[in-house]
Amino acid sequence: MRRFLLLVFSLLYNQFAWTYDLVSWTVSAGQWRSWQRTALPYLRGRLVLEIGHGTGNMLLDLISLGFQPVGLDLSPAMGRIASRKLKRRLGLSELPVPLARGRVEMLPFAAETFPSLISTFPAEFFVQPPVISEYYRVLQPGGVLVCVPAAQITGPALFDRWAAALFRITGQAGTGWFDWVVARYTAAGFRARLDVVRLPRSQVFVIVAEKPPRV
C-alpha cells in the first residue's frame, strides 16, 4: 500500500499536477485551504520560503497578507501551474515572486536567509535528517519553521465521514508519529512543539520548530 500511495503522490505532483487542487479539495471535504492557512499566524518577519509551493495557493495568501514569499518545488509541472496562476490572479504579465526548482536536501539559498519557512502537507522528506539540517541552515537565528503535516476530519455530515475515511487511507490523518518528529527536530537544535488547531469540522496539526536566537 505504501508503494502504491507513493506512486499516486508522484503522479499527482507531476504528470497529473493539473488535478491537484480538485483532488485536495475532494479528499478534505472542501477544507484543504483552511487547513493550509492554519500555519499563517505562526510566521515571523516578511520574507518567507514556502517549501513545496505546489499550485501556488499559499503564495497568493502570503502576498495578500503583505509577506514577501519565495517558492521552492521540485516538480516542473507545479512550477508552471503556480507561475500561470500567480500572474492570472494578480493580473500581471511578470511573475511577482521568485520560484525556484530544487531539492530540499540542498536548498539553493545562503545560510540564515529566511526568518520563516512554511510547508503544508509535505512528502516524507520533512522528517529526514539532511532536510532538517538544511532547514536549520537557511533559517535566521530566532526564525521559525511551520509545517502542517496532517489533519483529521471530525464533521458529522456524510460527506465529511466519507472524506475522513479516504484521508485515513492516504496516511495524512495519522498522529502516532508526531512525538518522534518533534524529538528529531529538537535533537537537531530546534525548539520544537506540536500545536493542534481546532476548526468547526476538523482539527489540524501544526509542527512549530524555532531556531534559537543568537546569544
Residue 26 vs residue 114, higher pLDDT: 114
The three cell numbers locating residue 208:
512549530
Q: Is residue 94 part of a domain?
A: yes
Q: What percent of the chain has pLDDT over 90?
A: 66
Q: Is residue 58 part of a domain?
A: yes
pLDDT tens for 166-210 read 555 555 545 567 889 999 999 999 999 999 999 999 999 999 999
Which residues constitute the domain of residue 119?
2-210
Q: Is residue 215 part of a domain?
A: no
Q: What angle do CA 145, 40, 152 make, to 5 degrees?
A: 90
The H-assigned helical ranges of the chain are 2-13, 20-27, 32-37, 57-64, 76-90, 129-138, 158-170, 178-187
Q: Tell me, what CATH number does 141's domain have?
A: 3.40.50.150
Expressed in angstroms, the distance from the first to the final Cα of the chain is: 47
What pLDDT does residue 123 have?
A: 79
pLDDT tens for 69-95 read 999 999 999 999 999 999 999 999 888
pLDDT at residue 165 tops 80: no
Domain count, the chain: 1
Q: Is residue 169 part of a domain?
A: yes
